[in-house]
Amino acid sequence: MPRLAALPSRLAAAVAVAMTVAACAEAPVTGRQQLILLPEGQARQMGVDAYRQIKSEKGISGDPRYTQPVNEIGRRIADVSGQPGLAWEFTVLEDEEPNAFALPGGKVGVNTGLFKVAENKDQLAAVMAHEVGHAIARHSAERVSRQAIVQVGQQAIGSQYPGMADILAQASTLGLILPFTREQEAEADHIGLMLMAKAGYDPRAAVQLWRNFETLGGQRPPEFLSTHPAPGSRIANLQQIMPKALEEYARSRYR
């Protein structure tokens, strides 16, 4: 998932004050309490700008083998997302890396390379629903807010102990930033599993998808050094919530 533009300096400067007045948000499906300091309108505009730039840099695929299923799945998942008011946009990008991403405001990109791993519509829906989960849970804005809080803490401690700046930065990354991004990824898996089931796509395909990624191989850092859970961890988490997803799948109006 691409990073947003650099954190606005006024946000970092106002974090201490904003934390005392900011209302907590609640993530959909999981109900997790969130602290989001970045205004939604500003986050959406950042998402629109980043999306436009990525499309320009990578190029947009017009191959109907890719665009037809992506548009069909995108419409169905957006329809059950609980946020029909977002300006949803699903674009296939010319990129051989098997990946997809979401940006604030309902902007979702799917690389052509993903079709090497997602073997059918259900597996493709697992990836796209995961990305929609990021969007509706406002994970980008929440991550920017967390990073602002960490920055303020680092600056406060660093001003008192200048020699500890590098150690503090490393500790913050390993102990705060990376665990939180993995938590968001696991949450997007959870939200996405329920969304794909509600949209009439077999949630069991999500497990097979991650087995496909595991088979794909490639070098991966240890989980504690990664922004994403390891495929095995993701599969275990998905299997725990699978019974609820299958109940949702059985009720789907799309079946």
Catalytic residue from among 131, 142, 187, 248 = 131
Element housing 168 (H / E): helix 165-172
CA distances from 231 to 38, 65, 142, 189 (A): 31, 27, 24, 11
Task: Please report the beta strands in 73-129, taking only residues with DSSP state E, as ranges in sequence order.
Answer: 89-93, 100-103, 107-111
CA distance linking residue 104 with residue 100, whole number of Å: 14
Residue 131 appears among annotated catalytic residues: yes
Check: CB of residue 128 under 8 Å from CB of residue 90: yes
- Cβ atoms within 10 Å of 15's Cβ, excluding its own: 19
Among 131, 98, 90, CA closest to 116: 98
| In 83-138, alpha helices (H) | 121-136
CB-based contact 245:194 (threshold 8 Å):
yes
- Catalytic residues, by residue number, are 131
